[in-house]
Amino acid sequence: MTLVPTPAVDWSEATSSLLAPLLTAHRLGLVTDVDGTISPIVNQPEAAQVTPRSRELLAALAQKLALVGVISGRAVDDVQARVGISTLVYVGNHGLERWANGRVEVAPEAQRYRPALEAVANSVRDHLLPGMKIEDKGATYSIHYRNAADPTRAEAELAPLLERLATQHAIRLFQGRMIFELRPPLEIDKGTAFAALVRDYQLDAALYLGDDTTDADALRACKRLRAAETCYAIGVGVVADETPAAVIESADVLAHGIAQVEAFLAWLNHQQQG
């Protein structure tokens, strides 16, 4: 199967070419990130809200597709409550958690790294600048610096310390948009989580939508699945002011902002009529 030429194009320019095979798939699935994709980025993570139009369209698509799911860096119980659509499948903490039968299921191999994660988080608390925040997400920790008086300084001062502590305690350090993330040293990310959903739901075609560095793992997974002819998977990169280069480089098509994500979801929903 031929890989998509780069650079990625606007999704509206690909409806009769790259996106067309999705519409004839026997089992099509759609998986989306939350923050920055169907929910605006806000200064306080707890204040983030999925747009009503996104929620409406995802609920409608869940009645038509083989799978509609969410993969988020948030804790899975948080994202399940925040999106609030019972017919969706929820994966949290970049693939380390799933919401199943009304409760959180953590990957067993992740649980033994909890003491190391706690040790790093506790070591860094005294070094936080005003406005920074540590978020305990169970299987991972996030350190937010968007609200620091000088985010550039906060990043520069904290990064070396976190790198040293992560190495010392044998855990992984990742960086996203104004955020550091501490995770277990496992080969689990949004890309492996997306591929697992493709496998578990026996999808022959799939879409992934995301806007941040961690979403690039899933966008790249789309290309691998397509190249292997395992699944005709298409990655939709969501572009905004702070979009990392990895998202644009990894995406097959682009949606410019949440309004265009909603337009894309509306188009897909319309194509599934009847």
Question: Which residue from 201, 140, 149 is spatially nearest to 176, judged by alpha carbons?
Answer: 140
CATH code for residues 109-183:
3.30.70.1020
pLDDT band at 183 (very low <50, low <70, confident <90, very high): very high
The answer to whether 9-107+188-271 and 109-183 have equal CATH topology is no
Question: Which residue from 137, 218, 135, 149 is spatially nearest to 179, judged by alpha carbons?
Answer: 135
Residue in 10, 33, 150, 212 annotated catalytic:
33
260-274 pLDDT, tens digit each: 999 999 999 999 975
201-231 pLDDT, tens digit each: 999 999 999 999 999 999 999 999 999 999 9
Sign of CA dihedral 145, 89, 207, 111: positive
Contact, 129 vs 153, CB < 8 A?
yes
DSSP state of 85: -
pLDDT value of residue 45: 74
pLDDT value of residue 119: 96
Q: What is the dihedral of CA 174, 180, 184, 187, to 10 degrees?
A: -20
Contact, 1 vs 222, CB < 8 A?
no
58-68 pLDDT, tens digit each: 999 999 999 99
Q: How far apart are CA 115 and CA 27, in angstroms?
A: 41
Q: Respond yes or no: is residue 33 known to be catalytic.
A: yes
**CATH architecture observed for domain 9-107+188-271:** 3-Layer(aba) Sandwich (3.40)
Q: Pick the most confident of 98-112, 129-143, 222-236.
A: 222-236
pLDDT value of residue 274: 56
pTM of model > 0.75: yes
Domain ranges across the chain: 9-107+188-271, 109-183
pLDDT value of residue 266: 98
pLDDT value of residue 3: 45
Question: Which residue from 8, 9, 42, 38 is spatially nearest to 177, judged by alpha carbons?
Answer: 42
- Tell whether omega for the bond before 5 is within 30 degrees of 0, i.e. cis: no
